[in-house]
Amino acid sequence: MVAKRKRYGAEEIIAKLREAEVGLAQGQSGAQVVRKLCVSEQTYYRWRREYGGMKVDQAKRLKELERENA
């Protein structure tokens, strides 16, 4: 059975990326980190590309601008 998809907000994504950074710094493998976050590797790397290094307010502003331009 396939798990139901969950849509994460910008705050949640940034928090999960920070969790991942901590796990990687502690020597966990990438596979272990994404398993702990309950997301796929593909999702993790997409989030990292889109939100890596951002603060929550920056991510919110990015999403607002994307909605305006859509």
For residue range 12-25, list pLDDT tens digits in order: 998 999 999 999 99
Q: Does the pTM of the predicted model rise above 0.85?
A: no
Instruction: Give helix then strand counts, H and E, for the chain.
Output: 4, 0
Across 21-40, average pLDDT:
94
For residue range 37-46, list pLDDT tens digits in order: 999 999 999 9
DSSP string, 38-63: TS-HHHHHHHHHHHTT--HHHHHHHH
Contact 62, 55 (CB under 8 A): no
- pLDDT given at position 29: 94
Return the higher-pLDDT residue of 44 and 70: 44
